[in-house]
Chains A and B, each alone.
Chain A
Amino acid sequence: GQNIDQPTEMTATEGAIVQINCTYQTSGFNGLFWYQQHAGEAPTFLSYNVLDGLEEKGRFSSFLSRSKGYSYLLLKELQMKDSASYLCAVRRGGGFKTIFGAGTRLFVKA
């Protein structure tokens, strides 16, 4: 089977750092994605990890530990526009089918 867990909601303060965790259980793991989705809009691609370690891209970083079935998305210097849902997704097997978690709604307050 497959299961992706992430917190339902998080709140953080503008200018701060927030870490959104994702744990997964799946056979044939072949990469983990993070997407951002603002309310009423489509998801947009943020990051991709297939090897263990940290990938940094500006204010956003994503970490993967395959042995622990664990990833996190780190957002630094939070801005109000970062208020959105963050979706963790896992690619399985040799194809490109991707399974999504339910998402974490992040609220950034002043």
Chain B
Amino acid sequence: DAEITQSPRHKITETGRQVTLACHQTWNHNNMFWYRQDLGHGLRLIHYSYGVQDTNKGEVSDGYSVSRSNTEDLPLTLESAASSQTSVYFCASGFDRGLGGEQYFGPGTRLTVT
């Protein structure tokens, strides 16, 4: 069965360190997204990609970067982790056709920056 996975599921890191969160999908979706979810804010879009070599900034992209070298993966990198980046991170993917672009979410990564 097709799926979307994230790793690690939990991560504790120190301020200033570089951190990379992995996202891998086997749906063969063109669209991939990264969100963070914080209490009171809902899901906020960090970066997104509509295909290989395509990346775009979302509403809260400062301090984050992504790269899309193949269809299956969209790793999210925190260049220099800050305490404000403590959050739950969700990756999602979706087709660019069909019902309207609904997204399928990974299980999430809980990141704590100390």
* Other-chain residue from A42, A48, A97 in contact with B100 (beta carbon distance below 8 A): A48
On whether the beta carbons of B105 and A44 are closer than 8 Å, the reply is: yes
- Given A87-B43, A98-B45, A102-B40, do A43 and B101 touch, yes or no (CB 8 Å)? no
* Subset of 21 A-B contacts with CB under 8 Å: A31-B100, A33-B100, A41-B108, A42-B108, A43-B43, A48-B100, A87-B42, A87-B43, A89-B43, A91-B100, A91-B101, A95-B50, A96-B48, A96-B96, A97-B48, A98-B101, A98-B103, A99-B59, A100-B43, A100-B44, A103-B42
| Nearest 9 pairs of A and B residues by beta carbon | A42-B105, A102-B42, A100-B43, A96-B101, A45-B102, A48-B100, A31-B100, A100-B42, A96-B31
CA distance A41 to B105 in the complex (A): 10
| Residue from the set B33, B58, B101, B106 with the largest chain A CB neighbour count within 10 Å | B101
- Given A99-B45, A102-B40, do A42 and B94 touch, yes or no (CB 8 Å)? no
Q: A33-B102, A98-B103 are in contact. List 10 more A-B contacts (CB 8 A).
A: A42-B105, A44-B105, A96-B48, A98-B33, A99-B45, A100-B35, A100-B43, A101-B42, A102-B40, A103-B42
Counting chain B residues whose Cβ lies within 8 A of the other chain, the interface size class is 20 to 34
Question: In this assembly, does A50 line the interface, its C-beta being within 8 Å of a C-beta of chain B?
Answer: yes
Taken residue by residue from 44 to 79, chain A's Cβ proximity to chain B (1 for < 8 Å, 0 otherwise) reads as: 110010100000000000000000000000000000
Q: Inside 8 A of B103's CB, which chain A residues have their CB?
A: 45, 98
| Residue from the set A31, A44, A97 with the largest chain B CB neighbour count within 10 Å | A97
Q: How many pairs, one residue from A and one from B, have CB atoms within 8 Å of each other in the complex?
A: 53
Least distance between B41 CB and chain A CB atoms (Å):
6
Q: Inside 8 A of A103's CB, which chain B residues have their CB?
A: 42
Interface residues of B (CB under 8 A from A): 31, 33, 35, 40-45, 48, 50, 56, 58-59, 90, 94, 96, 99-108
